[in-house]
Amino acid sequence: MMDSSKSCYPGLNRYDTYDRVSPSHIMTPLPDDATVTMAYVPFQLDTEIYDDMKALEEGTLFPILNKPFLGSGMRR
């Protein structure tokens, strides 16, 4: 038996590739077994996308990753 906890995706067996429809059913932004003092990047679950012309303008296909960083908070 394959131990699914060995996969880099919690709840996902490494042989599950393409067998699942959507990550949001099984994924969480952070692993269940997150350990202390280690840094984690929250996993992207939102898969909404722009159309391609808008994506080229914004610099990303994914609205959830569109962070313009205008820096207005620091300006005088």
Q: Applying CB under 8 A, does 66 fall inside the site for other proteins?
A: no
User: Which are the contacts of 63, defined by CB distance < 8 A and separation ≥ 6?
Assistant: 46, 48, 49, 50
User: Which position among 44, 46, 63, 64 is part of the footprint of other proteins (CB under 8 A)?
Assistant: 44
User: Which position among 1, 3, 6, 22 is part of the footprint of other proteins (CB under 8 A)?
Assistant: 22
Closest CA to 11 of 27, 34, 29, 35: 27
Residues that bind other proteins (CB under 8 A): 9, 12, 16-23, 43-44, 47, 49, 52-53, 55-56, 60-62
